[in-house]
């Protein structure tokens, strides 16, 4: 197979080959579960070596930024796999801090990707004052959005809230309280381990209505069951979430075995960058010729995919641009 990042005999708009990125699948990346006859459901996400494959593409970024990106991808996988949809589910945070953009998305099949855009000078100034900055310090003031995009023929659902809280966990809890009126608890972890980068998420939600709940349980009993689940989930440690040697099922058993733990069918996650010459060529064709001339260097334009950090080279003569098309 030829390298689709460089010009070839195949016209750019027809070249849909996947670039040379890892073909990696984690078969049990998401473990859904619920507590029998209690108003609690959840998902445990363990990215395993997928976190290393995704974050290593951005190894030039500071570890604090990579940690935030890994948490965002684990959280996105946890939220996406709770929904029934066809398309992509994304998390996007935009702020006025050193990290101006944080984006992660996951398809219905579990294809996962993410990236963060940081200002090196502003980040260096923050790190000089605060070696271990919080998500709030990295992002600054702005908004957090969750979007379910099922294509042009379906309505796109999007929920947006102001960034509130110190951590991505706090920001997500704020979103659920204000936009979804849903009681939830989120635990995120991401760190560089001996095996490389690892990222994980544990999300529990209080089930609305009476489905799956003990019909004999009154409101007080349901409240008590939810508070118990919260307390147990709160005992999970970062080391447990990131331990490759601790199976997800075993970790959930440690936490919830006394509460009627019932595991669902695991879901796979995979390396999910979907870039191609065809996609990027379509973007370039939307620019007027004068902008394309400005982008060109030595007779060629290089477009870099933000997710996989690969540069695609286009000969300027091959790109007509918006005004140059018949």
pLDDT in the model for residue 62: 97
Q: What residues contact residue 243 under an 8 Å CB cut-off, 6+ apart?
A: none
pLDDT in the model for residue 311: 83
Query: Is 149 a domain residue?
Result: yes
What total number of domains does the chain contain? 1
CA atoms of 178 and 41, how far apart (whole Å) = 20
- Sort residue 31 into left (φ over 0), alpha (ψ -120 to 50) or beta: beta
pLDDT in the model for residue 326: 44
* Alpha helix (H) residue ranges in the chain: 49-55, 63-80, 120-129, 135-139, 168-175, 219-233, 238-242, 248-256, 277-284, 289-295
| CB under 8 A, 24+ apart: contacts of 287-294 | 287/321, 287/322, 288/321, 288/322, 288/323, 289/320, 289/321, 289/322, 289/323, 289/324, 291/321, 292/316, 292/319, 292/321
**Domain containing 69: what range?**
26-87+139-265
44 close to 30: Cβ distance less than 8 angstroms = yes
pLDDT in the model for residue 303: 85
> Residue 291 — φ and ψ, nearest 5°?
-70, -40
> Residue 46 — φ and ψ, nearest 5°?
-130, 105
Q: What is the pLDDT along the chain (326 residues), one digit of tens a residue?
A: 466 666 665 655 545 566 667 789 999 999 999 999 999 999 999 999 999 999 999 999 999 999 999 999 999 999 999 888 788 999 999 999 999 999 999 999 999 999 999 999 999 999 999 999 999 999 999 999 999 987 666 677 889 999 999 999 999 999 998 887 789 999 999 999 999 999 999 999 999 765 566 666 688 999 999 999 999 999 999 999 999 999 999 999 999 999 999 999 999 999 988 777 788 888 888 899 899 999 999 888 988 888 888 888 888 888 887 754 44
CA atoms of 201 and 43, how far apart (whole Å) = 8
Query: Is 299 a domain residue?
Result: no
Query: Is 105 a domain residue?
Result: no
190 close to 47: Cβ distance less than 8 angstroms = no
Query: Is 114 a domain residue?
Result: no
pLDDT in the model for residue 18: 63
Query: Is 160 a domain residue?
Result: yes
- The CATH number linked to 216 is 3.55.30.10
Please give the model's pTM, rounded to 2 decimal places.
0.88
Query: Is 233 a domain residue?
Result: yes
CA atoms of 46 and 86, how far apart (whole Å) = 23
| CB under 8 A, 24+ apart: contacts of 222-231 | 222/38, 222/39, 225/35, 225/38, 225/39, 225/40, 225/259, 226/38, 226/39, 226/40, 226/183, 228/259, 229/35, 229/38, 229/40, 229/204, 229/256, 229/259, 230/185, 230/204
260 close to 35: Cβ distance less than 8 angstroms = yes
Query: Is 134 a domain residue?
Result: no
Choose among 120, 103, 100, 114: nearest CA to 60: 120
Query: Is 13 a domain residue?
Result: no
């Amino acid at each position: 197979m030829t390298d689709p990042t460089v010009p070839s005999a195949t016209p750019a708009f027809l070249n849909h080959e996947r670039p040379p990125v890892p073909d990696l699948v984690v078969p049990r990346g998401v473990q859904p579960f619920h507590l029998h006859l209690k108003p609690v459901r959840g998902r445990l996400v363990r990215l395993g070596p997928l976190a290393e494959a995704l974050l290593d593409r951005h190894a030039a970024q500071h570890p604090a930024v990579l940690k935030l990106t890994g948490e965002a991808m684990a959280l996105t996988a946890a939220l996406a796999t709770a929904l029934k949809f066809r398309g992509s589910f994304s998390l996007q945070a935009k702020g006025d801090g050193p990290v101006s953009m944080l984006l992660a998305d996951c398809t219905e099949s579990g294809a996962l990707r993410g990236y963060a855009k940081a200002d090196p000078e502003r980040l260096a100034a923050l790190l000089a004052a605060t070696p271990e900055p919080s998500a709030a310090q990295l992002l600054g003031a702005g908004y957090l959005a969750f979007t379910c995009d099922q294509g042009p023929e379906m309505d796109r659902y999007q929920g947006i809230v102001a960034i509130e809280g110190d951590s991505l966990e706090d920001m997500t809890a704020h979103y659920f309280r204000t936009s979804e009126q849903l009681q939830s608890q989120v635990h995120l972890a991401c760190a560089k381990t001996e095996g490389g980068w690892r990222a994980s998420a544990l999300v529990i939600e209080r089930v609305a209505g009476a489905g799956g709940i003990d019909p004999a349980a009154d409101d007080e009993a349901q409240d008590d069951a939810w508070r118990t689940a919260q307390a147990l989930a709160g005992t999970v440690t970062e080391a447990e979430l990131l331990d490759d040697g601790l199976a997800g099922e075993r970790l959930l058993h440690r936490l919830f075995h006394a509460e009627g733990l019932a595991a669902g069918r695991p879901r796979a996650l995979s390396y999910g960058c979907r870039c191609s010459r065809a996609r990027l060529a379509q973007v370039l064709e939307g620019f007027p010729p004068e902008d394309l001339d400005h982008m060109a260097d030595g007779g060629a334009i290089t477009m870099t995919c933000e997710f996989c950090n690969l540069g695609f080279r286009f000969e300027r003569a091959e790109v007509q641009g918006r005004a140059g098309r018949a």
